[in-house]
């Protein structure tokens, strides 16, 4: 009886420790979010003149959602915009709208980021010669619905596509764009992650893991290149 009681007590303590650690991670994420989006903005601590970083901004996943919002924001600041996404017709509509509303130049590149073989050579070629000051790595994909890791039988390529789109894209776009930033000693890179990277995300295991890669990659890349470019987040 005493052994059983001791085991139960130990498990309770382990559970409390795990709960504390998860709570700490959530609070850490919340603080960073509040600081970056409210405190630092209000105090002017994170003010960066984006237009001085370079003439062009490159945005992946730019045809709608967050990517389109970034395109609008950066065009409003006077940057020319390279829009990269899968559907050319959607890209052209966004590009025409930006040119009309903000009198900026635009360039569209239609590629499928689940393809890791040839698209980056094409992207690199089309970006050659542009003074890129801002890179927004926004493109990403998730599950169509939450499910157990071993029960994904309807789509044999889902996990490969998740890794290609969420990890390869961030890594390779940084490899393409950052050399010019380092050479000019300025530039801003924004890699879009997810709350799933910060909290337990069962049923979205591979997606969450790819977004954890984005967080770790960005943090260490920022340290490596702190002396050479303005910001990596």
Active site residues: 207
Beta strands in 87-178 (DSSP E): 106-110, 132-137
Q: Which of 183, 209, 187 is nearest to 196 (CA)?
A: 209
Q: Which of 222, 218, 228 is nearest to 182 (CA)?
A: 228
What residues does 189 pair with on adjacent strands? 135, 232
Residue identified by tokens 């702190």 is 226
CA distance 144 to 11: 36
What residues does 106 pair with on adjacent strands? 81
Q: Up-side HSE of residue 16: CA atoms within 13 Å toward CB?
A: 6
CA distance 135 to 133: 7
Q: Which of 100, 46, 92, 53 is nearest to 75 (CA)?
A: 100
Which residues fall within 8 angstroms of residue 192, CB to CB, at 6 or more apart?
Answer: 66, 136, 137, 138, 140, 214
H-helix or E-strand spanning residue 181: helix 169-184
């Amino acid at each position: 009886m005493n052994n059983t009681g001791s085991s139960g007590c130990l498990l309770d303590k382990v559970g409390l420790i795990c709960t504390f650690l998860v709570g700490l991670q959530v609070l850490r994420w919340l603080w960073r979010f509040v600081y970056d989006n409210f405190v630092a903005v209000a105090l002017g601590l994170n003010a960066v003149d984006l237009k001085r970083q370079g003439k062009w901004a490159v945005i992946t996943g730019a045809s709608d959602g967050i990517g389109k919002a970034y395109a609008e924001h950066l065009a409003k600041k006077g940057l020319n915009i390279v829009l990269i996404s899968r559907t050319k017709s959607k890209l052209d509509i966004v590009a025409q709208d930006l040119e009309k509303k903000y009198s900026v130049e635009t360039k569209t590149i239609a590629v499928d980021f689940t393809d890791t073989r040839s698209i980056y050579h094409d992207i690199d070629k089309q970006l050659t010669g542009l003074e890129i000051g801002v890179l927004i790595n926004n493109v990403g994909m998730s599950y169509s619905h939450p499910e157990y890791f071993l029960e994904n039988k309807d789509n044999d390529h889902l996990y490969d596509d998740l890794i290609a789109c969420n990890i390869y894209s961030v890594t390779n776009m940084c490899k393409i764009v950052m050399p010019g930033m380092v050479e000019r000693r300025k530039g801003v890179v924004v890699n879009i992650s997810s709350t799933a990277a910060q909290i337990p995300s069962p049923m979205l295991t591979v997606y969450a893991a790819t977004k954890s890669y984005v967080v770790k990659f960005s943090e260490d890349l920022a340290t490596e290149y702190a002396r050479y470019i303005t910001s990596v987040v």
